[in-house]
């Protein structure tokens, strides 16, 4: 019963989020998965590494697929997400911690820029 109540709470919280809050949550989850993939590599846990990179890829694809091309910035974001997907494929193939760190810093910058834009518009 308690699990069901918690799930209802989570569903309601997600359904009442603004688009900016949802975007921040997606970026935070993406960063968490990248950090998890780096830690998995350090421990030679390749199953967790693969799962984390695959989930990261799913998140970036979702971000790209939900762009609204009525706005000029969407074309730029689409290219940026394509770059993220390219880097994720490089990470997956090469298991390179340095590329994870570089990608993570780019995602942090983008997340922070969206957060600042939301703060200024709100």
Query: pLDDT value at position 42?
Result: 93
Question: CA-to-CA distance for 16 and 74, rounded, in angstroms?
Answer: 24
Question: CA-to-CA distance for 110 and 93, rounded, in angstroms?
Answer: 24
pLDDT in tens, 28-86: 999 999 999 999 999 999 999 999 999 999 999 999 999 999 988 899 999 999 999 99
Check residues 36 and 122 and name the one with the higher pLDDT: 36
Question: CA-to-CA distance for 34 and 29, rounded, in angstroms?
Answer: 9
Query: pLDDT value at position 45?
Result: 94
Indicate the CATH number of 18-121 among 2.140.10.10, 1.10.620.20, 1.20.120.340, 2.60.40.10: 1.20.120.340
Query: pLDDT value at position 24?
Result: 86
Q: How confident is the model at residue 9 (pLDDT cuts 50, 70, 90)?
A: very low
Q: How many CB atoms lie within 10 A of CB 49?
A: 22
Question: CA-to-CA distance for 106 and 109, rounded, in angstroms?
Answer: 5
Question: CA-to-CA distance for 119 and 63, rounded, in angstroms?
Answer: 20
pTM: 0.83
3-state class (DSSP) for residue 45? coil
Question: CA-to-CA distance for 63 and 56, rounded, in angstroms?
Answer: 11
CB 49 within 8 A of CB 37: yes
pLDDT in tens, 92-121: 999 989 999 999 999 999 999 988 888 887
Check residues 18 and 103 and name the one with the higher pLDDT: 103
């Amino acid at each position: 019963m308690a699990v069901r109540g918690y799930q209802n709470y989570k569903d309601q919280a997600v359904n009442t989020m603004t688009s900016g809050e949802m975007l921040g949550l997606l970026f935070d989850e993406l960063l968490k998965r990248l950090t998890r993939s780096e830690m998995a590599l350090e421990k030679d846990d390749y199953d967790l590494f693969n799962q984390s990179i695959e989930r990261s890829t799913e998140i970036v694809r979702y971000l790209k697929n939900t762009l609204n091309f009525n706005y000029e910035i969407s074309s730029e974001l689409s290219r940026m997400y394509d770059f993220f997907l390219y880097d994720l494929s490089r990470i997956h193939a090469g298991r390179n911690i340095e590329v994870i760190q570089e990608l993570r810093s780019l995602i942090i910058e983008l997340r922070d820029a969206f957060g600042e834009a939301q703060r200024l518009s709100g």
